[in-house]
């Protein structure tokens, strides 16, 4: 195999608070020779996700932190351009945890999913990938929606939240989206079909939330924690279901943040609160993607992508995402 240059984004330092572009550096490396059972993936699109904030921190998390000097952990979709594997075929489009780099060597034991269908490969990172499966399984399995339920979604215009809102509407639920700008509120109303969209940065946020939640909340899909969730918890209906998918509003867990306690609401409303991690549901991935593909093909499920070009933009894209400056699923197109 001809040696290839491989541009990478590596973690240079641990962030204090939110990660920024200064915590990463771009390096050039050389792709090594393939061994038996290995294949070379040329990445086309790289994912940028809120979970990355936890991955670069040394605070306790569900996964080991990315090591200093290591390629940034990330999902990516690309084409197999060389193979000594019996499982991974030349020319296949695959998605997996390939990292922020131009090329990745994978082997027969690497968790890789072949991408098929006529939709753009980038969707395998978003609506027809981890974001879509998270939205479906979290909402359907934990939320257990019933027609007429009131559903509140935080980060409602984001890669997961926008899909949750649409799935709720398709299930016959009423929907309230909480977002960080008036522009995102308009997108929720006009593109994703929310009944109500509220900007939590507005001075009238609490008043608008009270009006919208007058009949109570049956399902809360929580992507933020923090003061947004504190406010929503006061409107829970009896037997409400809360899906904890993210904690984007908490900048640090050391020391533990303090805030209103929700035990009383959970007790008196007999509510159920459950965390969701996609890694626990890999066996369901393909079947859920099939369902989502049908919805995307029919036009019932809409999506947005926020695309930046070049690996050099990846650290900037993460900073943008964590500050709420993106509109849709944030993706790096490898140049």
The proportion of the chain whose per-residue pLDDT surpasses 70, expressed as a percent, equals: 99
215 confidence band (pLDDT: 50, 70, 90): very high
Q: How far apart are CA 229 and CA 220, in angstroms?
A: 9
**pLDDT recorded at residue 254:** 74
Short-list 84, 135, 164, 64, CA closest to 281: 135
* pLDDT tens per residue, range 243-297: 999 988 777 777 778 878 899 999 999 999 999 999 899 899 999 999 999 999 9
Taking CA atoms, 207 is separated from 156, 212, 213, 275, in Å, by 19, 9, 10, 28
Q: How far apart are CA 287 and CA 265, in angstroms?
A: 35
| Domain 130-278: CATH class, spelled out | alpha beta
Q: Which residue has the higher pLDDT, 30 or 257?
A: 30
What's the whole-number mean pLDDT along residues 30-43?
95
* pLDDT tens per residue, range 219-256: 999 999 999 999 999 999 999 999 999 988 777 777 77
Is the pLDDT assigned to residue 59 strictly greater than 90? no
DSSP string, 189-248: HHTS--SEEEETTSTTHHHHHHHHTTT-EEEEEES--HHHHHHHHTTEEEEEEEEE---T
* pLDDT tens per residue, range 124-148: 999 999 999 999 999 999 999 999 9
Whether the ω angle into residue 255 lies within 30 degrees of 0, i.e. cis, is: yes
Name the residue ranges covered by the structural domains of the chain: 5-125+304-333, 130-278
Chain mean pLDDT for the chain:
94
Domain 5-125+304-333: give its CATH superfamily. Answer: Medium-chain alcohol dehydrogenases, catalytic domain (3.90.180.10)
- Cβ neighbours of 114 (radius 10 Å): 15
Enumerate residues 6+ apart whose C-beta is below 8 A from 123: 129, 296, 303
pTM here is 0.93
Q: How far apart are CA 203 and CA 335, in angstroms?
A: 42
**pLDDT recorded at residue 252:** 74
* pLDDT tens per residue, range 68-80: 999 999 999 999 9
* pLDDT tens per residue, range 83-133: 999 999 999 999 999 999 999 999 988 889 999 878 899 999 999 999 999
Q: What is the dihedral of CA 318, 323, 329, 330, to 10 degrees?
A: -30
175 confidence band (pLDDT: 50, 70, 90): very high
2 confidence band (pLDDT: 50, 70, 90): low
Is the pLDDT assigned to residue 1 strictly greater than 70? no
Q: Which residue has the higher pLDDT, 260 or 50?
A: 50
């Amino acid at each position: 195999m001809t040696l290839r240059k491989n541009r990478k984004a590596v973690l240079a330092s641990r962030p204090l608070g939110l990660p920024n572009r200064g915590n990463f550096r771009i390096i050039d490396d050389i792709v090594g020779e393939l061994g038996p059972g290995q294949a070379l993936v040329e990445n086309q699109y790289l994912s940028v996700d809120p979970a990355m904030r936890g991955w670069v921190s040394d605070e306790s998390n569900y996964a080991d932190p990315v090591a200093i000097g290591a390629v940034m952990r990330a999902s990516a979709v690309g084409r197999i351009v060389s193979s000594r594997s019996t499982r991974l075929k030349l020319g296949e489009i695959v998605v997996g945890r390939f990292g922020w780099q131009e090329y990745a060597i994978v082997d027969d034991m690497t968790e890789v999913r072949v991408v098929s269908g006529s939709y753009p490969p980038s969707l395998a990172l978003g609506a027809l990938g981890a974001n879509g499966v998270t939205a479906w399984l979290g909402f359907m399995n934990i939320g257990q929606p019933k027609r007429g339920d009131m559903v509140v979604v935080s980060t409602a215009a984001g890669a997961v939240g926008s899909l949750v809102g649409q799935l709720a509407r398709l299930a016959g639920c009423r929907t309230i989206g909480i977002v960080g700008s008036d522009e995102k509120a308009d997108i929720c109303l006009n593109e994703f079909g929310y009944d109500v969209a509220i900007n939590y940065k507005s001075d009238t946020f609490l008043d608008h939330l009270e009006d919208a939640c007058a009949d109570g909340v049956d399902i809360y899909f929580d992507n933020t924690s923090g003061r947004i969730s504190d406010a929503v918890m006061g409107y829970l209906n009896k037997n409400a279901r809360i899906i904890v998918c993210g904690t984007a509003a908490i900048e640090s867990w050391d020391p533990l943040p303090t805030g209103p306690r929700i035990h009383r609401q959970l007790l008196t409303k007999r509510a159920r609160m459950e965390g969701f991690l996609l890694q626990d549901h890999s066996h369901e991935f393909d079947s859920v993607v099939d369902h989502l593909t049908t919805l995307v093909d029919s036009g019932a499920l809409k999506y947005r992508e926020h695309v930046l070009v070049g690996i050099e933009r990846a650290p900037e894209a993460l900073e943008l995402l964590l500050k709420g400056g993106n509109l849709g699923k944030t993706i790096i197109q490898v140049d």
